[in-house]
Amino acid sequence: MQLLSKTKKQPTNSPALVISGYGKYSQIQTSNQTLYTATRRKNVALPVAGDKVEYQTSNNNEVIITALLPRKNTLSRLNKPVAANIDYLLLVVCLSPKYRLDLIDRYLIVANMLNIPIKILVNKIDLTNDLAPIKSDFQAFVEAGYDLNYFSLNNKQGTDLLLADLDNQTYLIVGQSGVGKSSLINFLMPDLDLKTQAISNNQEGKHTTSNTILYPLNNGAIIDSPGVREFELDDLTALDIQSGFVEIHALSQGCKFRNCIHINEPKCAVKIALEAGILNTRRYKNYAYLMSSAR
């Protein structure tokens, strides 16, 4: 009997999802939705929200992370990973404080740099009776191929479509302060209070606004990382800008010169498209402006 129990092998669990990390501790959610506070083996790198990990439970009910599974991507801030395995960025903008199209351009450039697709969510449409001018503002993004939703969390206009759109993926939510990011998370997770309570039910980690947290959502998840909500949007290189305006990048295949930057060159397919009204003037102007101040 003695011998048997000594050699008893740990059962292999299917990987758990990391909800958040607090220094030495990680909150993990197992495949059967149980939440644990886990420590990790010495050789295991710090897991972040969105990570998949292998873990074991010991006899005295301690949970230990034994391996960090390979990441699809890592989002870092100040050279420290804060989130992993992100399928989509969700950029929330709204009518008040009014969206800034030039800022949206910059978020789209960053998404392109990160090689992560991005959806634009336009919230608070209850604040207007006439959506037409707003739709016209966003038309260039739609034409460039971006996913876009108009909705109001206040009167639930457009939220059915939004819900149907958000599934099976891990989203990282970004956007300026006051646009409704927290409201959106609360809307998507009606039982959030319960869940956050379960998560903060350990003496080590109290929730602070600086913690990156993953909220499980249907079959997917939303990650809220206060530090990256408002990206570092400055310091874009010329190359980042050129490829980050995706419709300009596509047009550039037709330019005479391979190194054409679409400002003053002859036989520039981008300028031709601009003059023909195929390329959005505002987008092009912002492109030219950003290029003039690029590294």
Where do contacts with ligand GDP occur on this chain (CB under 6 A)? Answer: 123-124, 126-127, 152-154, 175, 177-183
Nearest Cα residue to 37 out of 60, 17, 62, 54: 62
Compare residues 188 and 270 and give the one whose CB is closer to Zn ion: 270
Q: Name the minimum Å distance from CB 43 to ligand GDP.
A: 38
The alpha carbon of residue 96 and the mean position of all alpha carbons in its chain are separated, in whole angstroms, by 22
Q: Which one of Zn ion, ligand GDP, none is in contact with 50 (Cβ closer than 5 to 8 A by kind)?
A: none
Compare residues 81 and 180 and give the one whose CB is closer to ligand GDP: 180
Adjacency order of strands within the sheet including 170-174: 147-150, 118-123, 88-94, 170-174, 220-224, 213-217
Phi, psi for 231 (deg, rounded to 5): -55, 160
Q: Name the minimum Å distance from CB 142 to Zn ion.
A: 23
Compare residues 35 and 134 and give the one whose CB is closer to ligand GDP: 134
Q: Name the minimum Å distance from CB 175 to ligand GDP.
A: 6
Within 13 Å and on the Cβ side, how many CA atoms surround 123? 23
Q: Which one of ligand GDP, Zn ion, none is in contact with 118 (Cβ closer than 5 to 8 A by kind)?
A: none
Compare residues 57 and 154 and give the one whose CB is closer to ligand GDP: 154
Nearest Cα residue to 138 out of 122, 117, 156, 158: 122
Q: Are 126 and 154 in contact (CB under 8 A)?
A: yes
Q: Which one of Zn ion, ligand GDP, none is in contact with 31 (Cβ closer than 5 to 8 A by kind)?
A: none
Q: Which one of Zn ion, ligand GDP, none is in contact with 152 (Cβ closer than 5 to 8 A by kind)?
A: ligand GDP
Q: Which one of Zn ion, ligand GDP, none is in contact with 262 (Cβ closer than 5 to 8 A by kind)?
A: Zn ion
Cα 233 from Cα 121, distance rounded (Å): 19
Compare residues 39 and 157 and give the one whose CB is closer to ligand GDP: 157
Show the tokens assigned to 42: 């010495």
Q: Which one of ligand GDP, Zn ion, none is in contact with 119 (Cβ closer than 5 to 8 A by kind)?
A: none
Show the tokens assigned to 131: 């959506």
Q: Which one of ligand GDP, Zn ion, none is in contact with 52 (Cβ closer than 5 to 8 A by kind)?
A: none
Compare residues 50 and 180 and give the one whose CB is closer to ligand GDP: 180
Q: Which one of Zn ion, ligand GDP, none is in contact with 158 (Cβ closer than 5 to 8 A by kind)?
A: none
């060159």: which residue's tokens? 265
Q: Are 16 and 30 in contact (CB under 8 A)?
A: yes
Which run of H or E residues covers position 247?
helix 246-251
Cα 47 from Cα 175, distance rounded (Å): 25
Residues lying near Zn ion in the complex (CB under 5 A) are found at: 255, 260, 262, 268, 270
Compare residues 166 and 179 and give the one whose CB is closer to ligand GDP: 179
Compare residues 28 and 174 and give the one whose CB is closer to ligand GDP: 174
Q: Name the minimum Å distance from CB 234 to Zn ion.
A: 25
Q: What is the DSSP string of 94-162?
A: ETTTTP-HHHHHHHHHHHHHHT--EEEEEE-GGG-S--HHHHHHHHHHHHTT-EEEE--TTT-TTHHHH
Q: Name the minimum Å distance from CB 182 to ligand GDP.
A: 3
Q: Name the minimum Å distance from CB 183 to ligand GDP.
A: 3
